[in-house]
Structure 1
């Protein structure tokens, strides 16, 4: 290993709830360096965990020996505006990709609500947005290349190693290290956003109808109130957009959503009795607005307030039942929950360990301030409610399930394990978290 690869000896994730010290952090400058390093690590019995931007809340990327960063593998390699096929290196951040696609007149067809992840990290953990006709980011993948622990590379397409492609699109970093990904983009489009307040019961009653009638629907319920913030985004051409004025955008997305909201969460952490009254302030703070802009500017927004999160994917037909029960449980509790609950929807897909594999899905995400004394009980409540309908935890968000639980919830679980045995028989890419969730 060349000395230039070693870039640190410690790591901490975005939320601050996962960390490691006394490790070796390496950042190969080329695919060739990467494959040599993996071969050497396997030969000497070392364990290596690839990491993206550290936006997962679980310990999926936490190393116990070597952490592998793809910071130098961050380029757009090929782009065909006619077909929309774009090949990128796996360490490219979504933010950089979105801007590169802008210059080509292209866009990702769907995104989550932040763009700080690397592309590899986003797809490996099943990152998704919302939209009843749209899948997670990994559904846009048409091919990929894995660097395997033995130092070889494996190209995966619908015709070459298709069984690996089916699994490695959401591969948890357990099958190999992604080096490049080919994705299907679409012509650039805009989103007309309509955002406003509402009542939680009324919003749940019309959720299915709204999800079917509008391209991208989501809402946020403010615990300890009956209020929600709803977001309805409709796809429109890019030649007739009406973006927010810069001052209004700064006021809503920076001052209110980050600075003021962060202060409210911080005040609630210091004085728990303030959480419930402050929840009512938060619910009332964001006024209705309508605007249109380039798709990625509407899909994503800055997130500067730290929190911890659990998200469960449940069959769409049970989504509102799960939320109603969560509302009931929170109402009967003495918890003080300062951060809204996020609700989204996605189409079924055919990816082996995708949370939407084989079923249309509603996602219910709960959040707490870091170190909240109510986190364990609150998260356990959602986990128990979701378990009743076969809920699947987001791979990058907190949960307590192990391999036996997950095997019962993923019909193709053994298929993934067989690929893992074939591609990483020495468990070079293992860590304690993977040992728990995969066995």
Structure 2
């Protein structure tokens, strides 16, 4: 059986695909691989652009472990099984008047996969999804079941909040939710320079601010999401269809195809895309506003840098692209999020801006990524674990403050490296 990730950037031929339906089934699967002297990697929906889920040997599919385990309404805490997708989590929480505090723009990932790779949304006063984890259950390399919480091995929480699947198999997580809320979304196409000049002000004045920049243009498509109680003013079904299917899917796909066939047209195409991307104003439940349709496949590299460094870094990228005459017909995405304590987090100990470079999956991303990555590294960049980058363990150890503590935790929980792969050896060491 061939496994491929969503972006088609990695594939594998696992020796066996294990599909347990219970936590005890996960425990037996781990014991089976351990007794055979093998290794295994857990997999969710394959939305990592990196090889995080790619196995050398066995693959553990957690897709059958879904649903709500328990709910503590008084403390707004929900425990869900690891294979539950973010979309399903949002729906389950909404039924009880709750929500996840901040989401990214994709909700197809499993909750365990999102946590394990550092998935984040935007909002300088908010944190990544992993930061909301107050407890978790893992099946460890010896087949045991380990509960980590504020009272049970609390020392492990900062590692488990972004564990790369290297500490054990996450089988359930307890999330700290918030009361359900709506977002007033305002999207506009504006000049890039005013956005860069007012970057810190925009972050402070707006609950969730981000923008897209199309290379070769002086335009930014801003997304300003403000928390509110309603009333809802949703997009019409027809408007949503036009936006998500005709413009985002078919229209973007057409522009990408033209750009690939006629690179000289890329700047003009990017002007057209930037002016047509903004969706105006609407008020909808938070999970509907945070999430955007992503049917066009792409490859992505994203780095977190100190939040104040973003304008200078993006201006350097703009100059470098112009000098190299490289004009990708896929926008850069720029976001920011608050500091957290996860050992491997790109936002560990600092408010963080993210600059993400994308390339259509049918085009070679390396010329773009090779140009952008050194600039982000020069600005104290830390790469997103679920996305593409060139760094190895020695370089990551110098950039990620909690790296050595995470490796110590890994040595404790998986000394024989049952959850290792070529990718974990590259990014974490042997």
> TM class, shorter-chain normalised?
over 0.9
Q: Which residue of 2 aligns with 1:335?
A: 326
TM-score computed with the length of structure 1 as normaliser: 0.96
1:173 aligned to 2:165?
yes
Encode CA deviations 1:187-229: one digit per residue, 9 max, x unaligned. 1100000100011111111111010011000000011111110
Q: Are the aligned partners of 2:344 and 2:401 in contact in 1 as well (CA < 8 Å)?
A: no
Q: Which residue of 2 aligns with 1:207?
A: 199
Q: Which residue of 2 aligns with 1:5?
A: none
The match for 2:262 among 244, 255, 271 is 271
- Structure-2 separation of matches of 1:205 and 1:254: 34
Encode CA deviations 1:411-434: one digit per residue, 9 max, x unaligned. 221110011111111111000010
Q: Are the aligned partners of 1:27 and 1:72 in contact in 2 as well (CA < 8 Å)?
A: yes
Q: Are the aligned partners of 1:10 and 1:25 in contact in 2 as well (CA < 8 Å)?
A: no
Encode CA deviations 1:328-352: one digit per residue, 9 max, x unaligned. 1112222230100000000011111
Q: Which residue of 2 aligns with 1:188?
A: 180
Q: Gapped runs of 5+ residues in structure 1?
A: 1-8
Encode CA deviations 1:230-263: one digit per residue, 9 max, x unaligned. 000000014x111111111221222111111111
The match for 1:70 among 62, 70, 73 is 62
Encode CA deviations 1:356-382: one digit per residue, 9 max, x unaligned. 000010000000112424x21221222
Q: Are the aligned partners of 1:197 and 1:288 in contact in 2 as well (CA < 8 Å)?
A: no
Q: What SS class does the counterpart of residue 67 from structure 1 fall into?
A: strand
Map 1:157-306 → 2, pairs under 5 A: 157-238=149-230, 240-287=231-278, 289-306=280-297
- Structure-1 separation of matches of 2:73 and 2:384: 33
Q: Are the aligned partners of 2:14 and 2:59 in contact in 1 as well (CA < 8 Å)?
A: no
Q: Are the aligned partners of 1:341 and 1:366 in contact in 2 as well (CA < 8 Å)?
A: yes
- Structure-2 separation of matches of 1:346 and 1:33: 37
Q: Are the aligned partners of 1:86 and 1:184 in contact in 2 as well (CA < 8 Å)?
A: yes
The match for 1:424 among 395, 398, 414 is 414
- Structure-2 separation of matches of 1:335 and 1:231: 26
The match for 1:412 among 402, 418, 430 is 402
Q: Gapped runs of 5+ residues in structure 2?
A: none
Q: Are the aligned partners of 1:193 and 1:233 in contact in 2 as well (CA < 8 Å)?
A: yes
Map 1:11-410 → 2, pairs under 5 A: 11-21=3-13, 23-238=15-230, 240-287=231-278, 289-373=280-364, 375-410=365-400
CA-atom RMSD, angstroms? 1.2
- Structure-1 separation of matches of 2:279 and 2:76: 35
Q: Which moved more, 1:9-18 or 1:277-286?
A: 277-286
- Structure-1 separation of matches of 2:415 and 2:377: 32
Q: Which moved more, 1:292-301 or 1:40-49?
A: 40-49
Encode CA deviations 1:32-65: one digit per residue, 9 max, x unaligned. 1110111121122111000111011111110111
Q: Are the aligned partners of 1:42 and 1:426 in contact in 2 as well (CA < 8 Å)?
A: no
Q: Are the aligned partners of 1:10 and 1:23 in contact in 2 as well (CA < 8 Å)?
A: no
- Structure-1 separation of matches of 2:133 and 2:212: 29
Q: What SS class does the counterpart of residue 204 from structure 2 fall into?
A: helix
- Structure-2 separation of matches of 1:58 and 1:286: 28
Work out the number of aligned pairs and report it. Answer: 429
Q: Which moved more, 1:325-334 or 1:207-216?
A: 325-334
Q: What SS class does the counterpart of residue 386 from structure 1 fall into?
A: helix
- Structure-2 separation of matches of 1:411 and 1:106: 33
- Structure-2 separation of matches of 1:124 and 1:235: 27
Q: Tell me by how many angstroms 1:269 deviates.
A: 2.1
Q: Are the aligned partners of 1:53 and 1:118 in contact in 2 as well (CA < 8 Å)?
A: yes
Q: What SS class does the counterpart of residue 361 from structure 2 fall into?
A: coil
TM-score computed with the length of structure 2 as normaliser: 0.98
Q: Tell me by how many angstroms 1:173 deviates.
A: 0.4
